[in-house]
Structures are given as C-alpha cells and as structure tokens.
Chain A
Amino acid sequence: MKIFPSCREVRERLTDYTEGTLSFRERLSLRFHLLICAACNAFFLGLRQVPWVARYLLPPGEPPADEAGQALAGALRHRGEHRHPTEQG
C-alpha cells in the first residue's frame, strides 16, 4: 500500500485492517486516510458493524423448521432400518 493510499485501496483493505494483518506502516497510512476522508470513515464504520448486526438479526436459537422435524424422523427411520441386531433399545 502507498503512503497515501486512494479511497479504493483503503476500502479494499479494511477487513485486513480489522483482522490485524497489515504492517505498521500500512495501518498508519490507512488510519490517517480514515481521519481525513469522511466518506471512507463512514464506509468503515458501517462495515465494522456488519458482523454485529448480522448476529443480532440472526440469533442462533430460532424455532425449528418443519424440515428439521423431517430430518429427525428420517434419521430415526434410517437408524431403525440399519441398526445392528446386537444393539439394545
């Protein structure tokens, strides 16, 4: 990355920035750009919120779908058909 990267270069590297994989010089260049470019800073703030927003909107404990019940029924049926004769239950 150049010492004074363009908006495009900055936006292409923002995940590398948040993942901590940029060199010290690259990190400094990018931070400086974000300080002076309101558009890229707004873009960055939005991008940084995406994981949090996604986790909020898609919580893990959702009600089971019909397909989940069918999968369980299928698994039990398959298990019953292929169970070894020595198995208990």
Chain B
Amino acid sequence: MTEEDLIEQAAAGDSDAFGALVSPYLGLFFNGILRILGNRADAQDALQNALLGIFQDLPGFQARSRFSSWAYKVCINAALMFRRSNARFREESMDVLPGLGEFDRTGHHLDTRESLQWSVEPLALAEAERSQLRECLLQALDALPDAQRVVFVLRDLEDWSTEDIAAKLDQAAATVRQRLHRARVQIQERLRVHIQGRAS
C-alpha cells in the first residue's frame, strides 16, 4: 500500500492506516520534539498531542508538500506550544559567558587557544569517538537554558531563519541572535574540552 493510500484511509478515520502512515517517522518526530523540550516525558506528551493534531488535520492535508515534512512541522509547533504552556523550564542567566574565554581589563584575550586549532573533522571520526562526541553534544544541549536551546535547535538543527524564529517565539531578532550566540559559544566550549581531553 502506498503512502497516498494510507493518507486517504487515515483521513477517513482508519486508525490502523494512521499508525502505518506515521510509524516510519516516529523517530524523526520524537527526536525533533525532544531537542526542543529536552525532557523525554514531556516529549512523549507533546508527540501524543502532535499525532492527535495530525490525525485530526489529515483531511485538510494538501499533497503539495511531503507528508513527513508537513507532519514534522506540526510536531515542532506542538513542541513549541507545549513549551509555552509549561513554566518549569530553566531560566537563562545573562552573566559572563565562560566559553568566550578569559580577558584582561582591556578586553584582550588571556587564553592560549591559538595553539589549539579547532580541527574536528567529524567525517573522519571512528564510530566510538563519534558516539562520545554526540553524547557530549547532547549533554551540552541539555545544560543550555531553555530559551537558548530552543533557538539553537530551530536555527542550527532545523534550519529556520532568524526572522521566522523571532516571529514564532515572539522575540526580537536581536534577542534570537544573542541567544543563538550564547548557545553556540557554550556548545563549542563543551566540545572543545572534550576534543582537547581526547587529544591529551
């Protein structure tokens, strides 16, 4: 049975067809939501809401876009809605950003990073190293304040434009860029430490 057939049957209310239609994409949907919410239980709830929304809106689905792309957007929106309705996320601090480096009072750097060239070539990493680096990245994402993680995920993983993120999150574009910058700096610092540790 083709995906078009499944869409047609699911749109008519067939639960089995809906299950068969979304099953190949569950990993994609869940991980997209998880990256935004940073919590597996919340991601499960948000995915359940998203799937209900997809099922409900399926009769109106236009085949102009791919089903998976359309459904993925519904999932990301469900994650953002869930985030908005949930007040227990970690607040961000606008204190000094440690990953930026150390400076003297004139603002000149004090670190010795010129000797540490960022020479990660991920394609050349062995599977075990890649797995370690991936774990490090996940920890770094998890450690970010919620507002920064969401911006980083939408901009750098989901490839949204800064303007779209600003509109969706109801923030100024400059705020989005600032949060993106802080997120990137902190992730870079985490990965740098990991790579430095691996090399030493």
Residues on A facing B (Cβ under 8 Å): 5-9, 11-12, 14-16, 19, 21, 37-40, 42-43, 45-47, 49-51, 53-58, 60-65, 67-72, 74-76, 78-80, 83, 87-89
Contacts and interface: CB of A to CB of B under 8 A. Distances in A.
Most chain A beta-carbon contacts within 10 A, residue among B137, B157, B181: B181
B57 to A, nearest CB: 13
A12 B32 CA distance: 29
5 contacts: A54-B137, A56-B122, A71-B47, A72-B23, A89-B13
A68 B47 CA distance: 7
B48 A75 contact: yes
Contacts, number: 167
A57 to B, nearest CB: 4
Given A47-B185, A51-B156, A80-B15, A64 B26 contact: yes
Query: Chain B: interface secondary structure?
Result: helix
B77 interface: no
A19 B151 CA distance: 14
Interface string B111-142: 11110111010110000001001100110000
Contacts of B143: none
Contacts of B181: 12, 14-16
Contacts of B32: 60
A75 B28 CA distance: 17
Given A58-B134, A89-B14, A50 B27 contact: no
Nearest to A79: B55
